[in-house]
Amino acid sequence: MKNADFLTGITTSGTPHLGNYVGAIRPAVESSKNPNLTSYYFLADYHSLIKNHDPKMRKQSALEIAAAWIALGLDYKNCVFYRQSDIPEIPELTWILTCLTAKGLMNRAHAYKAAAQDNEENGNKDADKGVTMGLFSYPVLMAADILMFNAKKVPVGKDQIQHLEMTRDIAARFNHQYKKLFILPEVVVDETSAVLSGLDGRKMSKSYNNFIPLFDTEKRFRKMIMKVQTNSLGPDEPKDPDTCTLFSIFQAFANESETKALAERYRAGISWGTAKQELFEYINEILKDPRETYNELIQNPGDIESILQQGAVKAREFSAPFLDKIKKSIGIQSLG
Ligand code: TRP
């Protein structure tokens, strides 16, 4: 196996939603099909330990996310599709990198800072209340995911840019301290559609509980689209597409000319009912066939497991010898 041209992970802590599709799955599926690229895609199940403490949910989420990627067309034969926890070299590398990572660097991580600030605002004397070492050192595990396969490019949502900066920082430290083994990975952010808005207009996210699941029944999917918040403008009044959540969701799925055409109808006055119905129909058309494949896969988890196992074998063809090389370079090696 070659090192990764592209690598990205998806945390197994919920049901796959439209935001995951637009931000991670869709671009991954595209490059998974490219015979000239080596793409690595994985279920970040160790990352999910940070927030989710429910074993059943974690397992279910891994199943749903793997099924979603496959149903949406991931070419798992051409790329490397695996589960993080099947690659023991990743946690090993995590520790090696942890010992090179400045605590001050982690102090500046957005997720940690947000938790500390929440504590402060809620009057907690301990700024670190509820903060585990997992949350605190999350960026190191992410750096290990990426550096383990010497990934050149990492497609992620905007909210992950800082983690990539940290990864580069950690890689550079290793290269400087020991041996120049790591490529400094580049972040790839799709500016137009990487972060999708959710029902309430904020970023679509499990944490805000404002997400639209990818593979619900058609009926429930329509219901969710109808729940997207709009304003109180009447049916004929001109509307601003640029501040409209419905519009931004449409934009993430449609091509440029379709988007332009809808923007004009907004400015001319379109009723919210029509806008919602059309959005539902548009996305439903895209999801219809994958929905069937998804349901079949969910019924046959053994098939998914075997795909993941084959992926782990491929991934370890790279990670096992590379970790040996890394360990040698730090003086952890056979004495004989
Ligand atoms: N932290 C990423 C997220 O929440 C998921 C992730 C884990 C990841 N490891 C990664 C993404 C490595 C890219 C590369 O979206």
Q: Is the CB of 146 under 6 A from ligand 1?
A: yes
Pocket test for ligand 1, best of 43, 46, 145 (most atoms within 8 A of CB): 145
pLDDT, one tens digit per residue, over 17-75 is 998 888 888 888 988 999 999 999 999 999 999 988 899 999 999 999 999 999 999 99
User: 97 pLDDT band (50/70/90 cuts)?
Assistant: very high
User: 191 pLDDT band (50/70/90 cuts)?
Assistant: low
Q: Is the CB of 90 under 6 A from ligand 1?
A: no
pLDDT, one tens digit per residue, over 242-269 is 999 999 899 989 999 999 999 999 999 9
Q: Would you state the structure tokens that stand for residue 52, as one six-digit string?
A: 């989710």
- Please state, in angstroms and rounded to a whole number, the distance separating the CA atoms of residues 255 and 278: 15
Ligand 1 center to 138 CA (angstroms): 10
- Please state, in angstroms and rounded to a whole number, the distance separating the CA atoms of residues 28 and 32: 6
Q: Would you state the structure tokens that stand for residue 222, as one six-digit string?
A: 């329509």
* Single pTM value for the model: 0.90
Ligand 1 center to 223 CA (angstroms): 30
Partners of 187 in beta bridges: 154
Nearest CA to ligand 1 atom 15: 10
- Please state, in angstroms and rounded to a whole number, the distance separating the CA atoms of residues 66 and 54: 18
Strand-strand pairing, 153-155 and 80-83 = unpaired
Q: Is the CB of 140 under 6 A from ligand 1?
A: no
Q: Is the CB of 12 under 6 A from ligand 1?
A: no
